[in-house]
Amino acid sequence: MLPIGKTTKQGKRSITANELVYAADALCTNLYHIVYTGLHLDLWGILERLDAGEIVIGDGGFVFGLEKRGYVKAGPWTPEATVEHPEAVRQLHREFLRAGSNVLQTFTFYASEDKLENRGNYVAEKISCQKVNEAACDIAREVANQGDALVAGGVSQTPSYLSCKDKAVVKAAFQKQLDVFMKKNVDFLIAEYFEHVEEAVWAVEVLKESGKPVAATMCIGPEGDMHGVTPGQCAVQLVKAGASIVGVNCHFDPDTCLETVKLMKEGLQAAKLKAHLMSQPLAFHTPDCGKQGFIDLPEFPFGLEPRIVTRWDIQKYARKAYDLGIRYIGGCCGFEPYHIRAIAEELAPERGFLPEASEKHGSWGDSLSMHTKPWVRARARKEYWENLKPASGRPYCPSMSKPDGWGVTKGARELMQQKEATSEQQLKELFQKQKF
């Protein structure tokens, strides 16, 4: 056993977490494969569920959740944790599954080749795009198989597009990820987090070739995409390109996202097109966002804590989404497992069951009837939580911020892809443009 272990600063022998965990993970993975070979799982697909009127609960965001847990770097936001720390990715998938998610997205956000090598990122070279995507598929499948969940392979917007590369170049990036998804046989595909419908359409076109069902979401608000295309028009273009499910994800809070999906719905109706609707908003309150969403807010990404939504905010969101006709209801950045559970609990009457994680959660706070302090037991009821206006505990802070409004979009010099890290000189110029 002695090859594992190293000498610490205190002069004592130790062993690293990773070394042991890798050994254990290898064992586990083998175990799962043995088990599943023996099972003949035959789950309903995404479209069969939606066509049957079922509610499909999505999962939450991985990059924000794993950043807080220590496995993702804010800035590049790339998913190399699938290779470097599979146990952490697996655990987060488990938590979402337990919270009620019916879809586990492969953790392949920003896993296109060009992003994995952008601005000094080492992943493309040291690990490789293919390995990151493959590991993501394996982990998602392992966990999905432990419950009633589908695996969705996801692609998202590329630096190549923002740098004005050819359509063919951009499509090739998507194709490379798709090849992995097909090899690993994911259940369906999602093109998500697009600011420009043009690029989203290209993505849908690529994914559609596979024959698998395709969902497409944009990270836009009611004002539409960065080129000024309205939500209604975006939805129409995506459906025409082959998406069976359309909606929004990320960039805006639940209320704003629902407003945008409503505009998409109206656009589809006007065009007499049919598609299922989907929403995966932020779990942050962003009433003060501009057109480009929460990235412009001064708090992004390391000061967003006071904006985190409560489970009760999410129950209201789930109800409104349902009432609007949306049936694929999930979350994005900021959504933690308990937020997903809140969707599942709110819609439990419609679905007829609670998620596993509700064994540790009473509806509308009723587990508080077990609290030691009587005034906390007195909060064990819906009326209390429904009406609470939670204080920030931050009297020296405002309640809204002015977003940065640089008005920079596709094609701007400062958005260009570059392999080398941002230089000191480049940073200096940016610091001068920033107000404080």
Judged by CB under 8 A, the chain residues 348 through 387 that form the site for a copy of itself are 352-353, 356-357, 360-362, 365, 367-381, 383-385, 387
Least spacing, CB of residue 28 vs a copy of itself, in Å:
4
Binding-residue pattern over the window 153 to 192 for a copy of itself, x denoting contact by CB under 8 A? ------x--x------------------------------
Contact in structure between 116 and 417 (CB atoms under 8 Å):
no
**Given 305, 325, 363, 419, the residue binding a copy of itself (CB under 8 A):** 305
Binding-residue pattern over the window 58 to 77 for a copy of itself, x denoting contact by CB under 8 A? ---------xxxxxxxxxx-
Complex with a copy of itself: residue 85 or 265, whichever CB lies closer: 85
Nearest 5°: the CA angle 154, 160, 162 is 100
**Given 41, 272, 274, 323, the residue binding a copy of itself (CB under 8 A):** 41
Under rule CB under 8 A, which residues in 402-431 are in contact with a copy of itself?
Answer: 402, 404, 406, 408, 412, 414-415, 421-422, 426-427, 430-431
Nearest-Å Rg of the Cα atoms of the chain is 22
Does position 274 bind a copy of itself by CB under 8 A?
Answer: no
Least spacing, CB of residue 15 vs a copy of itself, in Å:
6
Element (H, E) at 248: strand 245-249
Binding-residue pattern over the window 221 to 260 for a copy of itself, x denoting contact by CB under 8 A? --------------------------------x-------
Pairwise CA distance, residues 101 & 97, whole Å: 5
Around Cβ 17, how many Cβ atoms within 10 Å? 10
Under rule CB under 8 A, which residues in 94-123 are in contact with a copy of itself?
Answer: 94-95, 97-99, 118-121
In what side-by-side order are the strands of the sheet with 214-218? 56-57, 328-329, 276-280, 245-249, 214-218, 188-194, 150-156, 103-105
Complex with a copy of itself: residue 179 or 421, whichever CB lies closer: 421
- Quick one: tokens of 348? 């439990």
Does position 143 bind a copy of itself by CB under 8 A?
Answer: yes
Pairwise CA distance, residues 356 & 148, whole Å: 11
Least spacing, CB of residue 344 vs a copy of itself, in Å:
11
Would you call 9 exposed, middle or buried from its count of C-beta atoms within 10 A (0-12, 13-18, 19+)? exposed
Least spacing, CB of residue 378 vs a copy of itself, in Å:
4
DSSP letter assigned to residue 224: B
Complex with a copy of itself: residue 87 or 205, whichever CB lies closer: 87
137 marked among binding-site residues: no
How far out from the chain centre does Cα 419 lie? 25
Q: Which range binds a copy of itself by CB under 8 A, 32-40, 210-218, 231-239, 316-324?
A: 32-40
CA pseudo-torsion sign 36, 38, 43, 46:
positive
Complex with a copy of itself: residue 172 or 295, whichever CB lies closer: 295
Least spacing, CB of residue 236 vs a copy of itself, in Å:
28
28 marked among binding-site residues: no
For residue 286, which phi and psi values (nearest 5 degrees)?
Answer: -135, 55
Q: Is 245 helix (H, G, I), strand (E, B) or coil?
A: strand
Binding-residue pattern over the window 309 to 348 for a copy of itself, x denoting contact by CB under 8 A? xxxx-----------------------xxx--x-------
Pairwise CA distance, residues 383 & 400, whole Å: 27
Under rule CB under 8 A, which residues in 205-224 are in contact with a copy of itself?
Answer: none
CA-closest candidate to residue 305, choices 236, 394, 375: 394
Does position 396 bind a copy of itself by CB under 8 A?
Answer: yes
Complex with a copy of itself: residue 59 or 208, whichever CB lies closer: 59
Least spacing, CB of residue 25 vs a copy of itself, in Å:
9
Least spacing, CB of residue 240 vs a copy of itself, in Å:
28
Among the residues of 145-230, which ranges form H helices? 159-162, 167-183, 197-208
Does position 302 bind a copy of itself by CB under 8 A?
Answer: yes
Binding footprint of a copy of itself, residue count (CB under 8 A): 144
Q: Which range binds a copy of itself by CB under 8 A, 24-32, 130-138, 174-182, 226-234?
A: 24-32
332 marked among binding-site residues: yes
Please enumerate, as own/partner, the contacts of 355-359 that have beta carbons within 8 Å and a separation of 24 or more: 355/98, 355/99, 355/100, 356/97, 356/98, 356/99, 356/100, 356/147, 357/95, 357/98, 357/99, 357/100
Nearest 5°: the CA angle 313, 316, 319 is 150
Residues in the chain: 436
Residues ≥6 apart with Cβ < 8 Å to 326: 247, 258, 261, 277, 278, 279
Does position 273 bind a copy of itself by CB under 8 A?
Answer: no
Q: Which positions make up the binding site for Zn(2+)?
A: 250, 332-333
